[in-house]
C-alpha cells in the first residue's frame, strides 16, 4: 500500500519539519512493502533527512523562465524532488486547469522521469447519473495521458468525497477501481475523506493500492493511525 499525505495550503515550514521528524521516528512500524509519500506546501520543501518520499503538489511544466508565481524544474532539482501530484480536482476546478494543460504538465514531468500521482474524480452531478457516466467522465480525464508510463500512480478521488467527511462507500470504491483496473496496469489509490475510522475497510479492498489523504493527514498522529492501522 502507498500512503500519501496532501497538506494542500496548510502547515508552515516549521510545523512541516516537526511533522516530518515525528513521521520519520514512527513510520518504520508500517507493514513490509508499505510506502509513504508526503506533499507539503512549496514553502516547506527542503532536503529533509527522512527515508520516505517528499513530493510537490504542483509545478509549472518548464525548466525556468517568465512564469510569475510558478515553480519550475530547476527549483525542484535543488531539493531532489522527483515526485509530483498532477490533476487534483482543486487545481482543475478552483485554478481552472484544463485537461489540455494538465496533459502538457504530465508529459513534461514524464519526460523528466518524475513519479506522477495523477488524480481523477467525478463531481456529484455525474455520480448521480450512474456508474457508466462516472466511468466515461473518468476516462475523459485520461485524454493526453500515457497510461503505460512506468512511474504513473493513479488516484481516484470522487470530488464529492474530498474534504466532506463523506467517503465513497466500499462498494462504490470497489466498482470503480475494478473497472479502472481493466484499463490500467498501474497502482490506483483511493482519496476522499480517508480517516483512521475507515482506513481498515478501504485498505482491505483488493483493487485499492493505497490512499491519498488530505484533512486526516494534517495531524501527524492521525496520519500515523492511518499508516499503522
Question: Which residues are identified as catalytic?
Answer: 88, 157
Rule CB under 6 A: is residue 196 a binding residue for ligand PEP?
Answer: no
Distance, CA of 67 to CA of 81 (rounded, Å): 20
The enclosing H or E element of 222 equals helix 220-227
Rule CB under 6 A: is residue 6 a binding residue for ligand PEP?
Answer: yes
Rule CB under 6 A: is residue 209 a binding residue for ligand PEP?
Answer: no
Distance, CA of 220 to CA of 224 (rounded, Å): 6
User: Is 55:81 a contact under the CB 8 Å cutoff?
Assistant: yes
Instruction: Report the residue from 138, 214, 224, 227 that binds ligand PEP according to the rule CB under 6 A.
Output: 214
Distance, CA of 153 to CA of 2 (rounded, Å): 10
Q: For residue 122, give the nearest of 141, 109, 102 by alpha carbon.
A: 141
Q: How far is the CB of 212 from ligand PEP (least distance, A)?
A: 5
Output the nine-digit C-alpha cell for 221: 498522529
Nearer to ligand PEP, 45 or 162 (CB): 162
Rule CB under 6 A: is residue 192 a binding residue for ligand PEP?
Answer: yes
Rule CB under 6 A: is residue 212 a binding residue for ligand PEP?
Answer: yes
Q: How far is the CB of 35 from ligand PEP (least distance, A)?
A: 17
Rg (CA), the chain: 17
Rule CB under 6 A: is residue 203 a binding residue for ligand PEP?
Answer: no
Rule CB under 6 A: is residue 194 a binding residue for ligand PEP?
Answer: yes
Nearer to ligand PEP, 88 or 110 (CB): 88
Angle separating helix axes 13-26 and 220-227, nearest 10 degrees: 30
Which residues between 137 and 176 bind ligand PEP (CB under 6 A)? Answer: 157, 162-163
What is the contact surface with ligand PEP in residues (CB under 6 A)? 6, 157, 162-163, 191-194, 212-216
Amino acid at each position: 500500500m502507498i500512503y500519501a499525505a496532501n497538506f494542500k495550503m496548510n502547515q508552515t515550514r516549521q510545523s512541516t519539519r516537526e511533522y516530518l521528524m515525528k513521521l520519520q521516528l514512527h513510520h518504520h512500524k508500517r507493514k513490509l512493502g508499505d510506502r509513504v509519500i508526503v506533499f507539503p506546501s512549496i514553502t516547506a520543501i527542503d532536503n529533509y533527512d527522512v527515508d520516505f518520499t517528499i513530493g510537490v503538489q504542483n509545478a509549472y511544466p518548464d525548466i525556468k523562465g517568465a512564469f510569475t508565481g510558478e515553480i519550475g524544474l530547476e527549483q525542484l532539482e535543488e531539493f531532489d524532488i522527483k515526485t509530483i501530484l498532477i490533476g487534483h480536482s482543486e487545481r482543475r476546478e478552483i485554478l481552472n486547469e484544463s485537461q489540455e494543460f494538465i496533459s502538457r504538465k504530465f508529459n513534461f514531468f514524464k519526460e523528466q522521469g518524475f513519479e506522477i500521482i495523477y488524480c481523477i474524480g467525478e463531481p456529484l452531478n455525474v455520480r448521480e447519473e450512474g456508474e457508466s457516466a462516472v466511468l466515461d467522465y473518468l476516462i475523459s480525464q485520461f485524454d493526453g495521458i500515457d497510461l503505460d508510463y512506468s512511474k504513473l500512480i493513479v488516484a481516484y478521488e470522487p470530488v464529492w468525497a474530498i474534504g466532506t467527511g463523506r467517503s465513497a462507500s466500499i462498494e462504490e470504491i470497489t466498482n470503480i477501481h475494478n473497472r479502472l483496473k481493466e484499463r490500467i496496469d498501474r497502482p490506483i489509490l483511493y482519496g476522499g475523506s480517508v480517516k483512521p475510522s475507515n482506513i481498515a475497510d478501504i485498505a482491505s479492498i483488493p483493487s485499492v493500492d493505497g490512499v491519498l489523504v488530505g484533512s486526516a493527514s494534517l495531524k501527524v498522529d492521525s496520519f500515523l493511525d492511518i499508516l499503522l492501522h
